[in-house]
Amino acid sequence: MQKLIEEIKKTSSDMARRGWAESNGGNISLRLNKDQFALFDGYSPKSESFPLPVSMPEIAGERFLVTGTGRFLRNIELFPEKNTGVIELDSQGASYRLLWGYEPQGAPTSELPAHLLSHCSIKKKTNNQSFAFIHTHPTNLIALTYAVANLDTKSLSKLLWQSHAECIVVFPAGVEFLPWIMAGSMDLGRATADAISLRNLVIWQYHGICGCGRNLDEAFGRIDVAEKAAEICLKVMAAGGAKQTLTDEQLRAIAANFRCEVDQRLFE
């Protein structure tokens, strides 16, 4: 239990210190693996059953560590039992109950639909090997969605790949760009789940990013690299624009060198 809590404390405080989690911005969910799941065996439910907006049989019976609605990520480090909770889905994936946390009372993040629907996609696409999902507000990535005209998945992926030579290795499938959709809505949840089935990072225009990974470190790392690239990109724009950049040939060579499976359609 201590190890699990330490993991979310580390990730949430890193996010807060980077300025990605102002006020109650940003949220984290971790689908518990076999060992983590067993930690909560024998816990009596602390709440009634709350119906989910749609049934999610793909994640029926699973347990998740989820940050709380209205809670500040920067406070998880101090009071994890207040700012995070563990929920358990029923055997149909139609409702959830609280097993632990949100002291003295509370509920999971308002972005729960995006988290749980994305976990369905992530579990399927990684053959049950990925467990972490993070949504956060990195300043430079958000700024980029204002500063560049006509952004789409192809142009944004290429721009980030070109802004730092490591990007194509960390996210060879690129980043999926979602034009603005209302926060907390089922529409955003569904669009994010579809997007994350294609790529490990999803940009929400004017709002932030979502990332997945085998664990919180991997999800955090992917977002961190994309944010660094966005920062470089904005600095280059502020300095008068790129006078040269990585060519398609160089990008393909990096990917080949590190044996990364690049989404070739992003080059077309």
For Zn ion, the binding residues (CB under 5 A) are 208
Given the complex with Zn ion, which of 4 and 117 has the nearer CB atom? Answer: 117
Given the complex with Zn ion, which of 30 and 251 has the nearer CB atom? Answer: 30
Given the complex with Zn ion, which of 172 and 208 has the nearer CB atom? Answer: 208
Tell me if the bond preceding 57 is cis, omega within 30° of 0.
no
Query: CA–CA separation, 112 vs 27, rounded Å?
Result: 9
Token output for 186: 């089922």
Give catalytic residue positions.
111
3-state secondary structure of 132: strand
Nearest approach, Cβ of residue 26 and Zn ion (Å) = 6
Nearest approach, Cβ of residue 183 and Zn ion (Å) = 6
Strand order in the sheet with 63-67: 50-51, 95-101, 84-89, 63-67, 27-31, 132-136, 208-213, 201-204, 175-178
Nearest approach, Cβ of residue 112 and Zn ion (Å) = 13
Q: Cα separations (Å) of 242 from 81, 143, 148, 162, 239? A: 47, 18, 14, 10, 8
Token output for 22: 């102002």
Given the complex with Zn ion, which of 68 and 208 has the nearer CB atom? Answer: 208
The candidate with the shortest Cα–Cα distance to 192, out of 134, 263, 149, 139, is 134
Nearest approach, Cβ of residue 111 and Zn ion (Å) = 7
